Amino acid sequence: MIIALSGGVGGAKLALGLSRIMPPENLLVVVNTGDDFEHLGLSISPDIDTVAYTLAGLANRELGWGRHDETWSFMETMEALGGETWFRLGDRDLALHVERTRRLKNGESLSQVTHDLCRRMGVGPRVIPMTDDPVRTRLLTDRGWLDFQDYFVRLKCEPVVSEVRFQGAGAAKPHPDFMAALADPALEAVVICPSNPFISVEPILAIPGVRQALTGCAAPIIGVSPIIAGKAVKGPTAKMMQELGMHPSAGTVAKRYAELLDGYVIDHRDMSQVVSIDAKVLLAQTLMTTMEDREALAKIVLQAADVLKRRKVNTRLRHRTAGDGA
Ligand code: GDP
């Protein structure tokens, strides 16, 4: 079994690669819900939807969000009526939000709804929200505190970020299946996907108990850098790093995850970063343009997992034996 920690686009690409080179039912994708919000009376979970659409082969590759084969009658009509149109919802996509909202209102949990909708869309791997409790990412910017989607979509990531908070995280419980998988001896690896560390992965790590469970996990933890040659492939990762006083690089991301990482995959172009990284570093082509790229990177991650698992088990045995002798 493999656990993948994921945000939206970058995480979903690697999760798709993994799902194609291993039995998909052995992949558990734990998804950030800090981006979730309520809009036009609907409960929207952007990262869960990106992961689900991607794994189901329904994602809109041109837009980078939403569904392919989309129509826009709802948005056009909203515009004509003077309604809110800054967050674009395609007609097919809309159906998902309407159905999720209905079920949540009827008392189903986000994981129950996600599980069923993923099954109906033909998603092979198990996709779970990091928690069923509400967590909302908020950003302190030069325009004050902003809700995540206000910053990300309405203001197009233009505001300068000085602090990120995960409202509700302190009281949230991690998804029980995530915790159970981390303690399962059959777990082969935890993959920290190439997602934005500040707004996609750290919300997951902010839930009480998650960091401890990861540190205590017998399986290796392998990260993949979302930064290639100092730049994000997409989105505000590098810009945020600069604004938060960090040098945008693959090494800086590794430092954010420091004590968690057993292995870290960076791009060939970032070879100079190797010395600054305190984990076993693997060089690869980490830009996933084609399906072959996704599968090739996933293979490298799983090969690394295999080697690092044996190493981690041996180290633990040595420590235990040394402890017994003391
Ligand atoms: P979001 O929630 O949709 O912003 O998605 P993520 O946080 O999962 O993804 C954004 C991050 O993915 C950015 O930092 C990108 O640089 C990274 N990313 C996107 N595509 C790729 C890729 O092909 N390779 C790598 N290494 N990173 C990628």
Residue found by looking up tokens 């993959």 in the block = 191
Query: Distance from the CA of 164 to the center of ligand 1, in angstroms?
Result: 18
What pLDDT, in 10s, does the model give residues 189-233? 999 999 999 999 999 999 999 999 999 999 999 999 999 999 999
From residue 36, how far is each of 49, 77, 250 by CA, in Å?
A: 10, 24, 27
228 CA to centre of ligand 1 in angstroms: 10
pLDDT at position 32 over 90? yes
Mean pLDDT score, 64-74: 95
The CATH code of the domain that includes 199 is 3.40.50.10680
Alpha-carbon dihedral sign for residues 235, 48, 262, 20: negative
* Cα gap 105→99, rounded to integer Å: 10
Q: Give the mean model confidence (pLDDT) for residues 28-46.
A: 98
69 contacts: CB under 8 Å, gap ≥ 6:
92
Within 8 A by CB and 6+ apart from 292, the residues are: none
Measured CA angle at 237 (ends 65, 21), to 5 deg: 60
> pLDDT at residue 28 above 80?
yes
Query: How many angstroms is it from 7 CA to the middle of ligand 1?
Result: 8
- Structure confidence at residue 203 (pLDDT): 98
Q: Which of 70-84, 156-170, 259-273, 307-321 has the lowest mean pLDDT?
A: 307-321
pLDDT on residue 326: 46
Question: pLDDT value at position 156?
Answer: 97
* Distance from residue 200's CA to the centre of ligand 1 (Å): 10
Ligand 1 contact via 296 beta carbon (within 6 Å): no
Q: Cβ distance 225 to 10 under 8 Å?
A: no
Give CA–CA dist 83/40, Å, rounded: 9
Residue 286, SS3 per DSSP? coil
Percent of the chain whose predicted confidence (pLDDT) is above 70: 98
| Average pLDDT taken over every residue of the chain | 96
CA-based nearest residue to 137, from 202, 212, 214: 202
Number of Cβ within 10 Å of residue 67's Cβ equals 21
Atom 18 in ligand 1: residue holding the nearest Cα = 10
Q: Of all protein residues, whose CA lies closest to atom 24 belonging to ligand 1?
A: 287
Mean pLDDT confidence for 63-69 = 92
| Mean pLDDT of the 287-305 span | 97
Ligand 1 proximity of 47 Cβ (cutoff 6 Å): yes
Q: What is the pLDDT of residues 221-272, one digit of tens each?
A: 999 999 999 999 999 999 999 999 999 999 999 999 999 999 999 999 999 9
User: SS3 of 281, please?
Assistant: strand
Query: In terms of residue numbers, what domain contains 19?
Result: 2-325
Percent of the chain with pLDDT over 90: 93
Per the structure, how many domains does the chain have? Answer: 1
Band of residue 319 on the pLDDT scale cut at 50, 70, 90: confident
Q: How many angstroms separate the alpha carbon of residue 213 from the centre of ligand 1? A: 25
Q: Coil, helix or strand for 137? A: strand
Cβ within 8 Å of residue 267, ≥6 positions away: 225, 228, 229, 250, 283, 284, 285, 286, 287
> Which tens digits make up the pLDDT trace of 119-140?
999 999 999 999 999 999 999 9
Res. 324 pLDDT band, cuts 50 70 90: low
SS3 content of the chain, % helix, strand, coil (to 5): 50, 20, 35
